[in-house]
Amino acid sequence: MSAARATESNGAGTTDGRHPIAATREELTGWGRAAPTVAHVAAPSAADDVAGLVVESGSRGVIARGLGRSYGDAAQNAGGMVLRLGGLDRISPVDPITGLVTCGAGVSVDRLIREALPRGWFVPVTPGTRQVSLGGALAADVHGKNHHRDGSISAHVTSLTLVDGRGALRTLTPSEELFWAVPGGMGLTGVVVELTMRLIRAQSSRMQVDTTRTTSLDETMAVLEESDRTSRYTVAWVDCLARGPAMGRGVVTAGDHAPADAAGDATAPSLGRRGMPAPPWVPSGALNPHTVGVFNDAYYLMAPRTPRRSLESVGSFFHPLDVVPGWNRLYGARGFVQHQFAVEDPQCVRRVVSLLSRRRAPTLLCVLKRFGPAGRGPLSFPSSGWTLAVDLPVSDSLGSLLDAMDEVVLASGGRVYLAKDARLRPESLVQMYPRLDEWRFLRDELDPEHVFQSDLARRLHL
């Protein structure tokens, strides 16, 4: 489609027989449901349409949006254009020898697993939800429970095609420097329309999981380190409301794909069952130190006292966030913020958990994990050491708590994850990502006019 036609379609829709791509005004938020802004949203279903919309995007620019799972404002563009890419949904057959598969950027991890798993393949990296698009996953350079072994998703992408700031299609491979501006670039380097990645073999759709309950933060961290040596997938849930010697007690789960002979019942649902959705409305403050304390105690006590091995579905092991659809509504109308940081120094993790425990922060979900070596992307989040992710409901005092956490993280040379961020200081970003200028240099080559814009980019002066 020509650029001129795209302009016309902004208002009236196309008449060439394909889906019209009329832009509609829509209020958008991130998964945390805070800080809504309004953009012109279009849903192109072909790379040419994307290119046309990029060329005609106007002074407030354009950003791609996948499934809206970024917690903050990464996939919002106030007053500008937002492209929903669910229409780019093609999946090629998986190469039976190499495991390579080529997917449209709008393909979700969920769909890819459903296509690939019955044929003995699995995604090389999956975040805690399957409801992310591959384009979004690459833009945030997502990691999974196997980061200590396999790195983040960009390590498994062998080629990508994007629409750059001039509306031109470019295919990039990891041997090119420009490729590495994309993972972690939060969509500001162009609209990825297609990518090829290498799947891994999975003998079965079951996971062999070791669960260990720990009584203190030191033990949680020690068990996690030990599990990293034996298991491909590891993570710990941490009780941030526990106090005194129990502070940082948790549940460590470590797993591997179960071999075919150990997988047992092959008819069991591989992705687990979909649970009850969250109610459409929940009062703000329903999740407070008291209710969350009760939940955390119950979750902790339900975990086996002595280490236990069990078989789990892929869904229940990898994607706990998909059990309750719309769980982000549980935080009420004011929404919530997730703070996730990566740091080398284990003392930093101790200081933050102690801060959360002292301040009685109602964290339902607090996840600790070890990262392997950093990837090559200048803005890629994962870096060697530890990562802690905490969900916190928006309250009047949350700003100062998160700023205090930032200070602790900064003092240890750590960084926060932009896919989760909704409130970082721009000056902190510069300190946390020392390769920012390198990324800006590459971005300027892909998008010299800074056509790609988002609320996140405006807020952090990216």
Partner 1 sequence: MINALGAPQSVLVLGATSDIARATIERFAGAGRLQRVVLAGRSGAGLDAEVERVRSSGVPVVEASAFDARDRAGHERVIAGAFGGGDVDVVLISFGVLPDENQVRADPLAAADIVDVNYTAVVTTLLACANHLRAQGHGVIVVLSSASAVRGRASNAVYGSTKAGVDALACGIGDALCGTGVSVVVVRPGFVRTRMTAGLRPAPLAVDPQDVAEVIAKNLTGGSRTVWVPAAMAWVMRVLAVLPRPAFRRLSI
Chain residues that interact with partner 1, rule: CB under 8 A: 25, 27, 32, 34-39, 60, 72-73, 77-80, 333-335, 337, 394, 396, 398-399, 402-403, 422-423, 425-426, 455, 458-459
Task: State the Cα angle at 238 between 413 and 72, rounded to 5°.
Answer: 60
What percentage of the chain's residues is helix, strand, coil (to nearest 5)? 30, 25, 45
Determine the 3-state secondary structure of 249 from DSSP.
coil
Least CB distance from residue 355 to partner 1, whole Å? 17
Determine the 3-state secondary structure of 366 from DSSP.
strand
Q: Which CB sits closer to partner 1, 223 or 451?
A: 451
Task: State the Cα angle at 142 between 141 and 146, rounded to 5°.
Answer: 125
Backbone angles phi, psi at 82, to 5 degrees: -125, 130
Q: Which CB sits closer to partner 1, 166 or 334?
A: 334
Q: Which CB sits closer to partner 1, 77 or 129?
A: 77
The DSSP-derived string for 15-54 is: -SSS-----EEEEE--TT--S-EEEEEE---SHHHHHHHH
Q: Which CB sits closer to partner 1, 78 or 303?
A: 78
Rounded CA separation 317/293 (Å) = 24
Q: In what order do the strands lie in the sheet with 62-65?
A: 24-28, 37-42, 81-84, 62-65
Least CB distance from residue 339 to partner 1, whole Å? 11
Q: Which CB sits closer to partner 1, 192 or 402?
A: 402
Q: Which CB sits closer to partner 1, 250 or 335?
A: 335
Contacts of 239 (CB under 8 A, 6+ apart): 246, 248, 249, 250, 296, 297, 299, 300, 366
Q: Which CB sits closer to partner 1, 193 or 457?
A: 457
Least CB distance from residue 73 to partner 1, whole Å? 7
CB 232 within 8 A of CB 149: yes
Q: Which CB sits closer to partner 1, 386 or 417?
A: 417
Contacts of 88 (CB under 8 A, 6+ apart): 44, 45, 46, 47, 50, 104, 105, 106, 107, 135, 193, 194
Least CB distance from residue 31 to partner 1, whole Å? 11
Least CB distance from residue 206 to partner 1, whole Å? 39
Q: Is 151 left (phi over 0), alpha (psi -120 to 50) or beta?
A: left
Least CB distance from residue 203 to partner 1, whole Å? 43
Q: Which CB sits closer to partner 1, 160 or 188?
A: 188
Helix (H) or strand (E) holding 247: none
Rounded CA separation 82/183 (Å) = 19
Least CB distance from residue 61 to partner 1, whole Å? 11
Q: Which CB sits closer to partner 1, 159 or 395?
A: 395
Least CB distance from residue 26 to partner 1, whole Å? 9
Neighbours of 268 (CB within 10 A): 13
Least CB distance from residue 422 to partner 1, whole Å? 4
Q: Which CB sits closer to partner 1, 34 or 271?
A: 34
Least CB distance from residue 28 to partner 1, whole Å? 9
Least CB distance from residue 63 to partner 1, whole Å? 12
Distances (CA, A) of 66 to 43, 89, 111, 116: 11, 11, 13, 21
Backbone angles phi, psi at 69, to 5 degrees: -95, -5
Structure tokens at 44: 């192109």
Structure tokens at 360: 């009685």
CB 405 within 8 A of CB 361: no
